[in-house]
Structure 1
Amino acid sequence: VARDYHLTYRENEFNSPQNLTVPGASSPVENSLKEPCNTPLSNDTLYSNRNSPSDSCVKPLCNAASEKKSNKGVKYVSSEGDKLECGWGAFTPACLQFFNTPKGVLLFLCVASFLQGMIVNGFINTVITSIERRFDLHSYQSGLIASSYDIAACICLMFVSYFGGNGHKPRWLGWGVLIMGVGSIVFALPHFTTSPSEVHFSEETGLCSSHQSMPCAERVSILSNYRFVFMLGQFLHGIGATPLYTLGVTYLDENVKSNYSPVYIAIFYTAAILGPAAGYLVGGMFLNIYSEIGKQVDLTPDNTLWVGAWWIGFLGAGAAALLTAIPILGYPHRLPGSQRYIIMRVSEAHQLKDGIPLRNPTFIFLCLAGATEATLIAGMSTFGPKFLESQYSLSASEAATLFGYLVVPAGGGGTFLGGFIVNKFKLRCSGIIKLCLLCTVTSLLPVFIFFIHCPNMPMAGVTQMYDRSILLESSLNLTAACNTECDCLREIYSPVCGSDDIMYYSACHAGCKKISILDSGKKVYQECSCILENDPTGSAQAIAGKCTSSCERRTVLLVFMFFVIFFTFLCSIPALTATLR
């Protein structure tokens, strides 16, 4: 509630009947008033027929009985002395007032939510494996980096919600977006503060040879200390994004009509969902660029030593967030004309005698449903690309791009359609909750898709023997008669796909003796003795990289995943609208 609105819940707080001033709305007891009343307003002035407020639409209600009947949700409105111009301090040019509308606010908040989704839920999930490889991080360390965002959000949530809700919301929002932009730049700093990565990998290394050896280098562990810089960047992301999804939603809801609020909020959250999709697509493209731009390396994105340009997206998105924060900081604490919508929020509210939210069953169950939905969305966004990567033997960039194509129409379309349905059919709180129940049950129906899986690609010495016989569980046998003279090293894991449709641990383990590089940069290994035994064509060749899965269940799996994501996001905006009411 803005600073000029005073919400009272206890009747015993008033020693005398108070005056309810409702801008833009007439009172049902107005015609029964016979005499003017001199009752103090919220700004300590007296209202009378001779000295009325400047707003001609303001009318007093002086009936004490009426005040007792509706003592919950009573709001005192003062429109005097408010500075509702868009600008920064005394600088409020007329050209900026064009954006001083709910649509203008929605535009900049959508940009901010898009950037937040692209950075936190898109870029982070896409580049986490590249960061692990570049900075010598373990999985639990990268997990701490990802969880730093949630830790910061949990710490700041109550503080921001209370003080920001009673303060100047646009300023809190603007500073939050500014901090988020700084966090993105901090996240990209390790690329510039470390020495360029050096990859020494000879073409002859990894081939079948009787004298396999590699010079040993002392393990450099100082790079792993950069995890604290990444955690700091993620912590700043969490601090900056906290006002966006708490104060941003309420600021939109307070400044538009109640029946338009679901549409505005749906557009806002649609932008937040399109952000991760864009992060997957753009981040996947950046991973096809080598981290040290301009440096020629004898590697391809399929090579396990490849480190993509993970840092470009954070720099660009961070700069965009800094620019977006400037117009948000210029908005007033409430938009012009918004006072007419204040009293509309009271009629639909689910009130209890003591006003404690924990004793409001509707509110509690909506919160539990939201927590469950957030768990599903977080798991899907984090492990979705990895799931596709493992099922179809895709590269990290290919899996991220495919998942982005899946999320854009399903998540974005479901979010926008949910808000549109609430507005189109003018659903009230009970109807909204029924819609949420229907969508939730529908999203549970195709859950069996996770039992549909594609078999792992066969790998010699790992999932099967070299002679295609079954390999015992928990055993690893990379040595066979076809590669005993090659002196292969287990330290070099560079999988190749043989012409016999079997993957090998490396070209050496496939018994390959020659190598050639195509114009596209692909490496082709030749004269592979282990492949010759199983290849009916006799070509005995292998291509660098994993074999591509030809699983026929791929289309069915993607279709059902689409419906799960669609109906999950379809109820997100209706559930949020019911919570606000």
Structure 2
Amino acid sequence: MNSRQENKAVETDISDSRKGSSQYSTKQIAMASSVKKKIKCCSVMKMFMMALTFSFTCKALSGVIMKSSITQIERRFGTTTSEAGLIDGSFEIGNLLVITLVSHFGAKSHIPRIIGIGCFITGIGSFLTALPHFLMGHYRYNSVSNANPLDNSTVTYAPCSTDVNSAGNNRSSILLESGCKSESGSHMWIYVMIGNLLRGIGESPIGPLGLTYIDNFSKEGHSTFYVGILHSISMIGPIIGYLLGSLCAKLYVDIGSVDLSTITINPNDSRWVGAWWLGFLIAGVLNVASGIPFFYFPKNLKKARKQSTGPIPLDAPSTNENVSQKLNFKDSEQAKKTDGLAGFFHSLKCIITNQIYILFLISTLMTVSSFIGSITYIPKYLELEYDVSMSKSNFLMGTTTMPFVAISVLLAGYISKKLKLSVMGIVKLLLISRIGSLALQAFLWILNCGNQPIAGLTVTYNGNDPGTTQNIPFSFCNSDCNCDANVWDPVCGDDGLTYMSPCLAGCEYSVGHGKDLVFRNCSCVEANNFQSGNSSVYLGKCPKADDCSRNFIYYIILSSFTSFVIGLAIPSSITLIFKFVEPELKSLAMGFNLLLMRAIGGILAPIYFGAAIDVTCLKWDTNNCGDRGACRIYDSTSFRNRFFGLKMAIRAPEIICYIFLFIAIKKKYQENNTGLANNGGMDVDQSNLKEPLKNNKQLASSAHADGESHI
């Protein structure tokens, strides 16, 4: 009996040991499987971050390409500046058409695939924008060389001729007979506008849904870190965009299909059109490529995360994560009770009746409108005021303005974190930034080179300043020449004056061909330059004075510092919008803010800034049908005063609103000794300052601004 019992005991121990070993092995396998799934989930999130960062960079690059090419498009299609502003604003129109639907329904669908489709649509929009270049004929600009049939002869053309049938004197009628409808730009710019509108539609899901995916499936507390990386790296997009725009603006529009030796204008000429279409083709390819990886990501990573936690005993205590999930579930159930149109309008009423939020909204709207109107037409202003080509303007924007903004944004975030700024501290930083940038822009207004001396437009034919601009193209020196006053073919005389055409300079003949074309025996130059006896003119406007180059250096330095000061306010303006409303209204407050910024700032600002610029035009181009085309030369003084005057007229009330905002918030603090945290629905919990992005998945759209509105 004893031996049998001992055997049984041994067998029991062996079976128990085997059972324990089996259980241990199962746990070990489960743990190994859990680790693998964690690694897989983490790897997928990192890959998604890489893909989203690339798509953010590409869409920002596309937006900057449009901004840097808008003047080239204006000249190519012969539109006014306000019409070009409408083309530029069509991006915001397309974005507004679908942003709400995409944000609401897209979050419930396969987010990565919708982002991928959006990238494809953005690429197609870029291709459509460039399409008119391949459907239109070669670009033709008004020049005597275009009317000259003997380009290789040494003595080729007599600008000043009494023969009414001469080619140069009746250029308009000859072009009209050749068929103006086929040669004119017609309405091909509509394709550009539709392509830009498609870009707006395509980019709408990238920001909101990309942030949603990150916030849903990243580890607890990691979403802000991911978003910070996302925006820091994607700042490369605007920089590359301006550099690419600079390169395209330097290349002639019909490069590869015309002999460049026959082109008599250079990038500094107001008739020059760069290869604007090339940038859109490159941007289209990059956007399409950026969308491919998103089709390989899963709809969600929730299952992997749940499985990675392993089996949880029923009697196990609730962890913080479980409690958080229960609370979120309760919140979602509570949200369902206020769902629907009634709940939406109630929430909308709450934010509209919030005086501090509305005050901040108006201030921000003025800031954005001034910024968008300014950055759209800065290259045009630099070209006119400082005689800087579009290529050089875009290059300087990419190498000075954008890097300084990026540095200041990072510095402002570091200051807020290091000093642990309260809401009052953030408002003070914002107010200092706004007032400082306004003062610096006033100094930029003062820096100028004055009007360029153009005979018959800004000065008389003897070089005297008439006090006001005039449009008297004819004088005694060219009265015998049968000139076409509508032709803009500027030449620089030995007397230092710019003439609107060789004919209006009274030139008798020309020597050479192409860019080396020189006009001799010009009666108007001879009348002003009788002491030296030189009476020739050369292609192109006369260069600005030496002190203008020095002023331009001052402008770039001051402008870079202004951009740095403006950037200091960007983190504050993003963070503060969450501080003035209840926690459950933060998403709606951001959405309402984005709606107004795009509708009034993104769409309207380029149009009314363009309309103000159009008023200052001195010489309009005429197309082959005799219709008005793009402006060739502006009144520099009037342009500067209207451009900066409009910016100041918008920004002065903005500063007043910020001062009232500061007073209102200070008053709230004084009413409650504990601050704003528990006052009247004012959510100012300082923990929100540390991680505001977790409370709103649409913040990325505002911070990055789709590469369009805020660059």
Normalising by structure 1, report the TM-score.
0.71
Amino acid at match of 1:216: L
Q: Distance in 2 between matches of 1:106 and 1:516?
A: 62
Residue aligning to 2:161? 209
Listed as ranges, the matches of 1:274-313 within 5 Å are 274-294=236-256, 295-297=258-260, 298-299=262-263, 300-302=265-267, 303=269, 305-313=271-279
Give the 3 Å change call, closer, same or farther, for CA 331–542 of structure 1 in structure 2.
farther
After TM superposition, give the deviation of residue 196 of structure 1 in Å.
4.1
Residue aligning to 2:315? none
The secondary structure found in structure 2 opposite 1:476 is coil
The count of corresponding residues between Structure 1 and Structure 2 is 485
After TM superposition, give the deviation of residue 272 of structure 1 in Å.
5.3
Residue aligning to 1:503? 498
Instruction: Note the residue ranges of structure 1 that are not aligned, 5 or more in a row.
Output: 1-53, 55-80, 87-93, 347-351
After TM superposition, give the deviation of residue 274 of structure 1 in Å.
4.4
Amino acid at match of 2:52: L
Q: Distance in 1 between matches of 2:73 and 2:266?
A: 15
Q: Distance in 1 between matches of 2:88 and 2:59?
A: 14
Check whether the contact 1:277–1:405 (CA below 8 A) recurs between aligned residues: yes
Check whether the contact 2:457–2:469 (CA below 8 A) recurs between aligned residues: no
Q: Distance in 2 between matches of 1:444 and 1:323?
A: 41
The answer to whether structure 1 residue 126 and structure 2 residue 126 are counterparts is: no
Check whether the contact 1:462–1:471 (CA below 8 A) recurs between aligned residues: no
The answer to whether structure 1 residue 458 and structure 2 residue 458 are counterparts is: no
Residue aligning to 1:549? 544
Residue aligning to 1:101? 45
Out of 190, 193, 205, the position equivalent to 2:132 is: 190
After TM superposition, give the deviation of residue 374 of structure 1 in Å.
2.3
Give the 3 Å change call, closer, same or farther, for CA 259–437 of structure 1 in structure 2.
farther
Of 273-282 and 181-190, the range deviating more from structure 2: 273-282
Amino acid at match of 1:554: F
Residue aligning to 1:239? 201
The answer to whether structure 1 residue 383 and structure 2 residue 389 are counterparts is: no
Q: Distance in 2 between matches of 1:389 and 1:314?
A: 23
After TM superposition, give the deviation of residue 518 of structure 1 in Å.
8.6
Amino acid at match of 1:285: L
Give the 3 Å change call, closer, same or farther, for CA 224–423 of structure 1 in structure 2.
farther
Residue aligning to 2:11? none
Check whether the contact 2:441–2:562 (CA below 8 A) recurs between aligned residues: yes
What's the CA shift string for 1:173-219, capped at 9, x where partnerless? 32222211111011111122334446644265673333333323232
Listed as ranges, the matches of 1:325-336 within 5 Å are 325-332=291-298
The secondary structure found in structure 2 opposite 1:458 is coil
What's the CA shift string for 1:451-500, capped at 9, x where partnerless? 31321111111111111223364632222233233322223201122333
Q: Distance in 1 between matches of 2:300 and 2:102?
A: 18
The answer to whether structure 1 residue 568 and structure 2 residue 562 are counterparts is: no
Listed as ranges, the matches of 1:530-541 within 5 Å are 530-535=524-529, 537-541=532-536
Q: Distance in 1 between matches of 2:556 and 2:203?
A: 31
Of 476-485 and 462-471, the range deviating more from structure 2: 476-485
Q: Distance in 1 between matches of 2:392 and 2:572?
A: 34
What's the CA shift string for 1:480-525, capped at 9, x where partnerless? 2332333222232011223333211112222334445599x45444
What's the CA shift string for 1:352-374, capped at 9, x where partnerless? 99975546667555544543332
The secondary structure found in structure 1 opposite 2:115 is helix
After TM superposition, give the deviation of residue 226 of structure 1 in Å.
1.9
Give the 3 Å change call, closer, same or farther, for CA 475–196 of structure 1 in structure 2.
closer
Amino acid at match of 2:281: L
Higher relative contact order (CA 8 A, sep 6+): 2
The secondary structure found in structure 2 opposite 1:485 is coil
Give the 3 Å change call, closer, same or farther, for CA 128–256 of structure 1 in structure 2.
same
Give the 3 Å change call, closer, same or farther, for CA 343–467 of structure 1 in structure 2.
farther
Residue aligning to 2:119? 177
The secondary structure found in structure 2 opposite 1:311 is helix
Q: Distance in 2 between matches of 1:315 and 1:572?
A: 32
Amino acid at match of 2:460: M
After TM superposition, give the deviation of residue 145 of structure 1 in Å.
1.7
Out of 484, 487, 491, the position equivalent to 1:492 is: 487
Amino acid at match of 1:209: S
Residue aligning to 1:219? 180
Amino acid at match of 1:439: S
Listed as ranges, the matches of 1:412-491 within 5 Å are 412-422=406-416, 432-452=426-446, 453-471=448-466, 473=468, 475-491=470-486
The secondary structure found in structure 1 opposite 2:50 is helix
The secondary structure found in structure 2 opposite 1:216 is helix
After TM superposition, give the deviation of residue 401 of structure 1 in Å.
3.0
Q: Distance in 2 between matches of 1:253 and 1:367?
A: 26
Q: Distance in 1 between matches of 2:277 and 2:323?
A: 45
The answer to whether structure 1 residue 114 and structure 2 residue 57 are counterparts is: yes
Amino acid at match of 1:174: G
Check whether the contact 1:267–1:416 (CA below 8 A) recurs between aligned residues: no
Give the 3 Å change call, closer, same or farther, for CA 216–443 of structure 1 in structure 2.
closer
Amino acid at match of 2:205: P
Amino acid at match of 2:397: F
Of 181-190 and 133-142, the range deviating more from structure 2: 133-142
After TM superposition, give the deviation of residue 158 of structure 1 in Å.
1.8
Q: Distance in 2 between matches of 1:557 and 1:304?
A: 21
After TM superposition, give the deviation of residue 386 of structure 1 in Å.
1.2
Of 419-428 and 492-501, the range deviating more from structure 2: 419-428
Residue identity (%): 29
What's the CA shift string for 1:140-197, capped at 9, x where partnerless? 4433322211111222222222223444443333222221111101111112233444
Normalising by structure 2, report the TM-score.
0.59
Q: Distance in 2 between matches of 1:85 and 1:363?
A: 42
Check whether the contact 1:266–1:415 (CA below 8 A) recurs between aligned residues: no
Give the 3 Å change call, closer, same or farther, for CA 371–482 of structure 1 in structure 2.
same
What's the CA shift string for 1:320-363, capped at 9, x where partnerless? 100101123434456676996996999xxxxx999755466675
Q: Distance in 2 between matches of 1:558 and 1:571?
A: 21
Q: Distance in 2 between matches of 1:341 and 1:483?
A: 89
Check whether the contact 1:392–1:454 (CA below 8 A) recurs between aligned residues: yes
Q: Distance in 2 between matches of 1:432 and 1:234?
A: 36
Give the 3 Å change call, closer, same or farther, for CA 106–205 of structure 1 in structure 2.
farther
Check whether the contact 1:84–1:332 (CA below 8 A) recurs between aligned residues: no
After TM superposition, give the deviation of residue 100 of structure 1 in Å.
2.4
The answer to whether structure 1 residue 411 and structure 2 residue 398 are counterparts is: no
Amino acid at match of 2:45: T
The secondary structure found in structure 1 opposite 2:57 is helix
Check whether the contact 2:58–2:290 (CA below 8 A) recurs between aligned residues: no
After TM superposition, give the deviation of residue 125 of structure 1 in Å.
2.9
The secondary structure found in structure 2 opposite 1:224 is coil
Q: Distance in 2 between matches of 1:252 and 1:446?
A: 39
The secondary structure found in structure 1 opposite 2:187 is helix
The secondary structure found in structure 1 opposite 2:466 is coil
Give the 3 Å change call, closer, same or farther, for CA 524–333 of structure 1 in structure 2.
farther
The answer to whether structure 1 residue 157 and structure 2 residue 99 are counterparts is: yes
Root-mean-square deviation (Å): 4.0
Residue aligning to 1:40? none
Instruction: Give the greater-gyration-radius structure (CA).
Output: 2
Give the 3 Å change call, closer, same or farther, for CA 482–119 of structure 1 in structure 2.
same
Check whether the contact 2:434–2:566 (CA below 8 A) recurs between aligned residues: yes
